Chains A and B, each alone.
Chain A
């Protein structure tokens, strides 16, 4: 991964105008310069100039970033602050060593058997690591870690990971494009049913999907924790796992995985570029394959449910805001409504919510309020992490709405074959 020093020029492109203050979810909750992109870049520059090293206050401010990228979107110079913050975190880890938590994340993610075991022994593991997890649904943090506040609602990891399941595909060979499904941890371990919806939908479209076995975590949580080497290791293993197949597209159904494969991997080396170019978010892919027209052709249900949509940061940052809305509008059982600030980060932010659960809650509460104001019974999104955070926020605010992956609604709409 790139060193902080390699971002010197980008840092200088920050003209300190402060426009990022208008959009940063953390700043809006904290109102301090250290929370916002402009401040983070000033700190990164101070590190490069030897003004700051790896002091406690500095580390704290660097941890106060969701890496959501909304600042870049609004920045007159499109300064990639989330990349700079991630590089600064790696720099801190190089100087101070990874934090205990960061080490845990890196060790766990790069060790697939351990991940599988955690999931298999879910009851044991979750009791051990997450204390009491309320049964009242509402998913939670992507990775079980010690020290989670007890009020936080959290889904039980699935007993059998998605990639270990026996999947029946009704299509044995694709008439259309050859596709691989990059599952990601959120779907593999926490929401395997999302993977099943995806297979069902693709089969309905007469597309056979290959599930490469050797794939591992995309590396985004490691990036967030400042564990640069783990990101490199994971990316390499994924490249190897996917390369052995012939394919036209790699599909993701997790926005964070998409962000990693399409956004982060190309920065790691030229090998990744062709692979990144073929990566598609499932919504985008389904739209291009003409699913919307087929959904529109289905009879409109009389008993429709009001659904709103939350933009995961890693789709929004890639401009993928229309396909999911087009699909929602086409669904026969759905009345789609737009909520306020749909494109604002949910507040999970990888490891952010572990270090700053209170701020993360505050950001989530705002989101939950907007869901309630929209009158929607369901908030659909396209990222397991967002589902975890949205449901936890809704539960906490006692708002009787459900957070789901959009694929669940699409799968529901398809005629039974």
Chain B
């Protein structure tokens, strides 16, 4: 519980309108896209970095857990107040401070919505590539904290590849800058990269400096349908081996296509077992050639049909198919365990085969789609929520999936992070030395474990008594 005196101080810092310990507000900030719920004791919305610093000093003094929150769209529970305490919403800090066209750098506050920022830079002919599926709602602060990815990352890299500087508030309340606005910089440790993907456990991000690219002139989208998933996986390897990196290289397996057929009315050739959406971007005159090279390389690999978009509308038609995937899965009325494993690209065909084996072994449908170009697969293990046996099997299937992934040199999470959802499996992937090293770091920077406690490390996460069922 947080004393009335502390609440008063918080109100002085944020303005009373932006501090609430009312049950209604506590419920409103108790969940994220994991659908799990934990009630915080108080919700605050600071206006600026100074306020964040004062709040952290107060929290440090009183040992109050603090959970920074962007848009609450995470899939691993990064924003969940699992041990009670204070949710710190960053939505008021939502200004784009500068877009520097001479240096191709922008400075933003953490609450800026990623999609809004992309529109703002694209209006100036610039480009900020990271494109998580949630980009129309998720915030840049959350994207940095989780190191978000997206379809375009196969060519352009993930969030941390664009962050070159930060302003953060440490767990003890100090305001600190890392990196800067230069393209290079090797003075001291690279703290910027340390904070990227640290899931809000090491510092509260209050300002972000990102580098920008010139916006590609045009893009070309293709939908290629294959006879089998193996063919599609081979095609991905073939494209990469040919030294072509498309801007996006998305795949959908046979079961995904079945769902789309049933629920979204997609018409596909008979025997379709998988599909790839391939998009190339760059100068207009060079696009047709590149698209043709790709089609040549994969031609002999079980292609049943290919559709090349010639207009923006045709391209949108193709992307509509991809965007219909998640809604169509939900229509199956099953609980889905959405994992985002990532394997070396060359191991993709093998990984798909292993997933099929897991599906057979546990007798559970598994639907796969995702960013094939970088080996990042969204594996959806489907189970009937009302069937306890199936749900238990799904848990086992998840573990089997992680083990298979790691055997192939992959990682349990390409994009979503660990949070509370993957914490129990941490030691499958990381050595005890590596976990120990991270813990030492966490302890040194946050000795009282007040900043986003209960995340990443299994011993913090294994028992969370505050969960609302």
Which residues of A come within 8 Å of B, CB atoms? 13, 15-19, 21-22, 31-34, 39, 42-43, 46, 51-52, 55, 57-58, 61, 76-77
Contacts and interface: CB of A to CB of B under 8 A. Distances in A.
Contacts of A39: 28
Given A31-B94, A32-B91, A57-B24, A18 B327 contact: no
Nearest to B71: A18
Given A15-B35, A57-B22, A22 B27 contact: no
Contact of A55 (B23, B29, B134, B327): B23
Nearest to A33: B28
Given A17-B33, A51-B468, 19 more contacts: A15-B33, A16-B31, A16-B35, A18-B71, A19-B134, A22-B136, A31-B92, A32-B91, A34-B25, A34-B28, A42-B27, A42-B37, A52-B23, A55-B23, A57-B22, A57-B23, A57-B24, A76-B327, A77-B327
B137 interface: yes
Of listed B28, B73, B115, residue having the most chain A CB within 10 A: B28
Contacts of B35: 15-16
Contacts of B281: none
25 contacts: A15-B33, A16-B33, A16-B35, A16-B72, A17-B33, A18-B32, A18-B72, A19-B134, A19-B136, A22-B136, A31-B91, A31-B94, A32-B28, A33-B89, A34-B28, A42-B28, A52-B23, A52-B27, A55-B24, A57-B22, A57-B23, A58-B24, A76-B326, A76-B330, A77-B327
Contacts of B33: 15-18
B330 A15 contact: yes
Interface of B: 20, 22-25, 27-35, 37, 71-73, 89, 91-92, 94, 111, 115, 134, 136-138, 326-327, 330, 468
Contacts of A13: 330
A55 B22 contact: yes
Contact of A43 (B27, B115, B134, B326): B27
Contacts of B37: 42
A333 B89 CA distance: 51
A44 to B, nearest CB: 10
Q: Is the interface of B mostly helix, strand, loop or mixed?
A: loop
Given A22-B115, A77-B327, A16 B32 contact: yes
A154 B327 CA distance: 43
Contacts of A32: 28, 91
Contacts of A21: 71, 136-137
A18 B72 CA distance: 7
B332 to A, nearest CB: 12
B80 to A, nearest CB: 11
A28 to B, nearest CB: 10
A21 B114 CA distance: 13
Contacts of B111: 31
A18 to B, nearest CB: 4
Contact of B23 (A31, A33, A51): A51
Contacts of B25: 34, 57
A388 B330 CA distance: 40
Nearest to B327: A76
Most B CB atoms within 10 A — which of A16, A43, A77? A16
A19 B137 CA distance: 6
A33 B94 contact: no
Contacts of A52: 23-24, 27
Contacts of B330: 13, 15, 76-77
B27 A18 contact: no
Contact of A18 (B73, B94, B326): B73
Contacts of A61: 24, 28
Nearest to A60: B24
Contacts of A31: 91-92, 94, 111
A22 B118 CA distance: 14
